[in-house]
A and B are shown apart, each in its own frame.
Chain A
Amino acid sequence: MGDGENLLAGIDMAKRGYHVVEHVPTELATHVVLRKQG
């Protein structure tokens, strides 16, 4: 998109303990699920 509102700007997901638990591509999207450990 190049411009707009960035969901994760300034948020260190890895430092906060999130990791990828699902990754499912379809014709119209790629679904990624992040989950916080603990």
Chain B
Amino acid sequence: MSKTRVSCFAISLDGFGAGPGQNLENPLGVGAGELHNWYRPTATFRKMFGQDGGSTGIDNDFAKRSMEDMGAWILGRNMFGPVRGDWPDENWKGWWGPNPPYHVPVYVLTHYPRKPLEMEGGTCFILSPTAFMQPLIAPGKMLAKKMCVSVAVWQRSGNTSRRICSTNYTSPFRRS
């Protein structure tokens, strides 16, 4: 059975998951970097970016759990990048370089669709307002295992969360 979940979403005591004024120098918004001070030292986070070592305690347990059985991600557009409105060109391909740490399909919710971006390492960015609701994933391997779809948003997060919650969403990743 598939499951849609929000995992390892860090918020401040007053409820904020990202700071204001996101730009190239502040991908999380101003002042939000500290929200992830518990996450960056973990072995799970370091492994995601090809680094050895890291903490293996409770924080890492939660970090590790968040990545288990992951079949796809749903991101808000601002987590994908700082560009707003129309795309000036096709150059922006996320914050993470040629081999992003997802390694599965990533649905980017946006009113400004683009052609799917095939990245190294199995990540494919699908930029669309509705594609996450459709069974677009064809490869059998994606359908043959237990799936989770992780909702990860760090800017305009309330909007995206509300859309997920208010949609009669059934995962396209069911095993049948």
Contacts and interface: CB of A to CB of B under 8 A. Distances in A.
Main secondary structure of the interface of B (DSSP, over half): loop
Contacts, number: 75
Interface string A1-32: 11111111111000010000000101011010
Main secondary structure of the interface of A (DSSP, over half): loop
A10 B161 CA distance: 10
Chain B residues touching A, range: 20 to 34
Contacts of B19: 1, 3-5
Interface stretch (B6-14, B100-108, B112-120, B137-145): B6-14
Contact of A26 (B17, B58, B157, B158): B58
A35 to B, nearest CB: 9
Interface residues of A, number: 17
B158 A1 contact: no
